[in-house]
Structure 1
């Protein structure tokens, strides 16, 4: 089996797991913002917090993917060398 394929597949599964963790944390933070809105009545603060959480989650996804790509490239270079 192709080393590149195996390493890429392993990285893909790891990325999906890490992204799922980020998504779960984001959902929990958004739920907390919604609860805070109910308690305080401050819709603007809840909306801003939600937007920040979504942006952070998007950046986290990009970082996770970039790190995985670097790891795969390193492992391929190491395996070939």
Structure 2
């Protein structure tokens, strides 16, 4: 097995940007489901609801990236051996 890291600082930065965009998207989409009357409360609760969804998205993107990177490295190792 290779001891190289499966992620780099560039991929983590890319995932952070993607996660931020996902948070903004989910906050915007969830505003319609908040039973509040003031816009400030609507934005607050929509953002608060989007936080765990964004956390799951972050974890899923990290697991996906590590799995794909590992599979690519294994295929290269099999072809080289």
Structure 2 stretches lacking a partner, 5+ long: none
The equivalent residue for 1:54 is 51
Q: How many residues align?
A: 72
Q: Which has the higher relative contact order, 1 or 2, with Cα contacts under 8 A spaced 6 or more apart?
A: 1
The equivalent residue for 1:14 is 11
Question: How many angstroms apart in 1 are the aligned matches of 2:7 and 2:18?
Answer: 20
Counterpart selection for 1:66 from 52, 63, 66 = 63
More moved, 20-29 vs 60-69: 20-29
* Residues 1:75 and 2:76 aligned together: no
Structure 1 stretches lacking a partner, 5+ long: none
Question: How many angstroms apart in 2 are the aligned matches of 1:22 and 1:69?
Answer: 16
Query: Normalized per residue, which structure has more helix?
Result: 1
TM-score (norm 2): 0.59
- The ranges of structure 1 where at least 4 consecutive aligned residues each deviate by more than 3 angstroms after the TM superposition are 3-9, 27-30, 45-48
Question: How many angstroms apart in 2 are the aligned matches of 1:47 and 1:6?
Answer: 38
Per the TM alignment, residue 58 of structure 1 is displaced from its structure 2 partner at its CA by 0.5
Per the TM alignment, residue 21 of structure 1 is displaced from its structure 2 partner at its CA by 1.9
Q: How large is the Cα RMSD of the aligned pairs? A: 3.4
